[in-house]
A and B are shown apart, each in its own frame.
Chain A
Amino acid sequence: MNNEVYFNRIFEENYPRVMGLCFGYVSGNEDLAKDLAQEVFLKVWQNLNNFKGESKIATWIYRITVNTCLQELRRKNHVSLKIDMAAEVTANQNEKESRFAEMYRCINKLSPENKSIILLELEEVPQQEIANIIGISHRAVRTRIHRIKEQLSKCVYNEQL
């Protein structure tokens, strides 16, 4: 199959997943998420020849997404993001937006690795694949998810009180 045709197919199939994950990393900032998603697919295209079929293509793309989002956030030092979030919270917002802001705030409190794990879990990626994306054992992922779920629920619940 022609590389461009193949890339077009994986772009159409995986864009919503990538965008969903990027959205989580940048606390719902759509413009930043779109930029990140574009960066991710640029890397997918540039590295397509390195995909050897040892995992599902979606898992391979998720790896690029996690690594790209984390590195971009490190480089940008999230300053603008924190300002955006503060502005969002102080503005008059409806209850739904406020709930999402709380969720994002709680997710942002997690370490980068735990944040990645829980975002993948929220995107319903199977645990075995999460292990493959992060580079830890399936058992460790299971234990970790259990712990993060408790932490996150507690945080979101307390924020709402």
Chain B
Amino acid sequence: MNNFSDIKKQWQRREVSLEPETGVKDIIKKSKYLQKKQRIGQVVLSVTVAILVLFFFYISAYKNSEVFHGLGIMIGSLVIRICLEYFSRTKLKKLPSYRNMNYYNQQLISYYQNRKYLHSLITPLLFAAYVAGFLMLLPSFKEGLSPGFYTYILFSSGFVFLFLAVFIAIQIREELRILKDLKEEIKSIDPA
């Protein structure tokens, strides 16, 4: 098998199962399910944002400026992050996979570069704002809660923030790897 025509003959003798297990109806059903899931996602997102905003105004009735600002910062950064993530993922799904490979790869690079910007600047800022908002709430917690429960909140939130930071870092690393792969693919393109 030392020439390409032999390879090609071998290739055509592969045992490829060419009978589809799922039919057109299953694909259309899946597509409808995904559309429904997207709509549910939109509703859940809107409801979450509405609840957080309403909760913020409800809490603001206490007129405690530290709680007001702390909670406002936490809710604001969370809402911004959720919305950014939602729109970003929707954008990825809408990239034109029906265009030629080089065009699609350029679009993917541009998408992941925007994500890199989001991860390197916006995400740390929002995360820092979220933690800062929480820290602003601590004096009120100390005042209003038992020392035991206060200590519990302090340590458990530390673990939660650490877990969140690790989770976000893993996701960022994964996306940066894809971006690196894509850039290497583009670099390896032989102009011939």
Tell me which residues across on chain A come within 8 A of B24, comparing CB atoms: 4, 7-8, 11, 41
Closest beta carbon of chain B to A88's beta carbon, Å: 14
**Contact present for A111 and B188 (CB under 8 Å):** yes
Count the B residues whose beta carbon is within 8 Å of the partner chain — how many?
42
Tell me which residues across on chain B come within 8 A of A64, comparing CB atoms: 97-98
**Contact present for A67 and B97 (CB under 8 Å):** yes
**Contact present for A15 and B16 (CB under 8 Å):** no
B55 in the interface (beta carbon within 8 A): no
Closest beta carbon of chain B to A12's beta carbon, Å: 8
- From residue 101 to 132 of chain A, which have CB atoms closer than 8 A to chain B? 103, 111-114, 116, 122, 132
| A residues apposed to B, CB below 8 Å | 4, 7-8, 11, 15-16, 19-20, 23, 28, 30, 33-34, 37-38, 41-43, 45-47, 50-51, 60, 63-64, 66-68, 70-71, 74-75, 77, 99-100, 103, 111-114, 116, 122, 132-136, 140, 143-144, 147, 149-150, 152-153, 156-157, 160
| B residues apposed to A, CB below 8 Å | 1-4, 7-8, 10-11, 14, 16-18, 20-24, 27-28, 30-31, 34, 96-104, 108, 177-178, 181-182, 185, 188-192
Additional A-B contacts beyond A11-B20, A11-B24, A45-B28 (13; CB < 8 A): A19-B18, A38-B27, A47-B98, A64-B98, A67-B101, A71-B108, A74-B181, A99-B1, A100-B14, A122-B8, A133-B101, A140-B191, A156-B2
